[in-house]
Amino acid sequence: MITISAAIAWLDRPSANTEQAVRDGTVGTAGTVTSAAVVMVAVFAIFATLSTIDMKEMGVGLAVAILIERGGARGSASMRP
């Protein structure tokens, strides 16, 4: 979310259109952010296969949290005021 926000802030200059800045910032960082989310979900899914209950809970919880955050970040960036 920080990467997307930084890109939008850089593009949202006084002479720029806010909607265009949001669109460009989201599109420009989509590959990087999605790749990071995929790696994190894969690592946390491995935790879910371990034998201890604590690690399973943490793995499932963190994997689901990343999936929800990834969808939420994309959805909130596309909202209009």
3-state secondary structure 15-27: CCCHHHHHHHHHH
Note the pTM of the prediction, 2 decimals: 0.62
Range of the domain at 64: 2-77
Phi-psi region of 12 (alpha: psi -120 to 50; beta: other; left: phi over 0): beta
Domain count, the chain: 1
Sole residue written with tokens 């790696």: 39
Residue 30: pLDDT over 70: yes
72, 20 Cβ separation under 8 angstroms: no
pLDDT for the residue 2 = 59
Residue 35: pLDDT over 60: yes
Angle (CA) 34 67 28, round 5°: 25
pLDDT for the residue 57 = 92
Instruction: Provide the sign of the torsion angle of the four alpha carbons 57, 48, 37, 2, taken in this order.
Output: positive
